[in-house]
Amino acid sequence: MTSVDLRTLRLRPSEVRRESFEVALEPFMLGGQRYEATPATIPVELEISQASGAMVLDMRLEARLSGACMRCLGFAEVERQVRAREFHDFDAPPADELHSDYVVDQQLQLSVWARDAVALELPDQILCREDCAGLCPVCGKDLNEEPHEHTERTPDPRWAALEGLRDNL
C-alpha cells in the first residue's frame, strides 16, 4: 500500500508541494465480476497545500479497468480520468468533515484513496459497448453475435399457480 507521511512535508501556509507516485490498484468486485486495473500500477499526481491550518490534498489519475461485460460476459474495458480533493485539519475531531478518513496517524493512505476515487467514477454497468444486446434469456447465446428470437416458449412450470390466479381475476 502506498502512503505519504504528511509529518515530513512541513509546509508553510500557502506553500504547495507536487509529488508523483506509482500506486497499485486492488481489483474491484462489481456485480459478482472481477475488474482489474491495466496496468496494475498507475501514475498518481498528488498536490498538497497548506491553507488556514488545514491541508488541501488534490489527486489526479487515469485508470483503465478490464473485466467481463455485465450484459454479455464478453471482454469489457472502461477508462476514467479521476480528480479528487480532500481536506484535512489535524486538530479537527475524527467525525468532523475537515478530518479526512484517508489520513491515519498523519499518513495519507494514497492507495485506498485512489481505489475509492476510481470506484466513485465507474459507471453503473461496465459494458463491452454501449448498445450491447446481452445474452438470450432462453438459450443463453450472445445476442451481439447471433441476434434471434424464440417464437415458441413453454412457460416455466413454477409459474403455473400464478397463471391460475390471472384467469380468476
Question: Residue 154 has which C-alpha cell?
Answer: 413453454
User: pLDDT (tens digit, 9 = 90+) per residue, 87-139?
Assistant: 888 887 777 888 888 988 888 999 999 999 999 999 999 999 999 999 998 88
Residues 158 and 121 in one domain: no
Residues 77 and 153 in one domain: no
Residues 70 and 108 in one domain: yes
* Dist CA 3 CA 61 (whole Å): 16
Report the pLDDT value the prediction gives residue 59, as an integer from 0 to 100. Answer: 96
Residues of the domain holding 163? 135-169
- Report whether pLDDT(78) > 90: yes
The number of angstroms, rounded, from the C-alpha of 106 to the middle of its chain's C-alpha atoms is 25
The number of angstroms, rounded, from the C-alpha of 128 to the middle of its chain's C-alpha atoms is 17
* Dist CA 169 CA 166 (whole Å): 5
Residues 128 and 141 in one domain: no
Report the pLDDT value the prediction gives residue 58, as an integer from 0 to 100. Answer: 95
Residues 29 and 107 in one domain: yes
Sheet containing 3-5: which strands, arranged edge to edge? 3-5, 107-109, 103-104
Residues 139 and 119 in one domain: no
Residues 77 and 100 in one domain: yes
User: pLDDT (tens digit, 9 = 90+) per residue, 38-59?
Assistant: 998 999 999 999 887 788 999 9
Residues 66 and 96 in one domain: yes
Residues 101 and 45 in one domain: yes
Residues 100 and 150 in one domain: no
Count of domains for the chain = 2
User: pLDDT (tens digit, 9 = 90+) per residue, 29-40?
Assistant: 988 889 999 998
Closest CA to 24 of 89, 86, 110: 110
Residues 90 and 157 in one domain: no
pTM of the model: 0.79
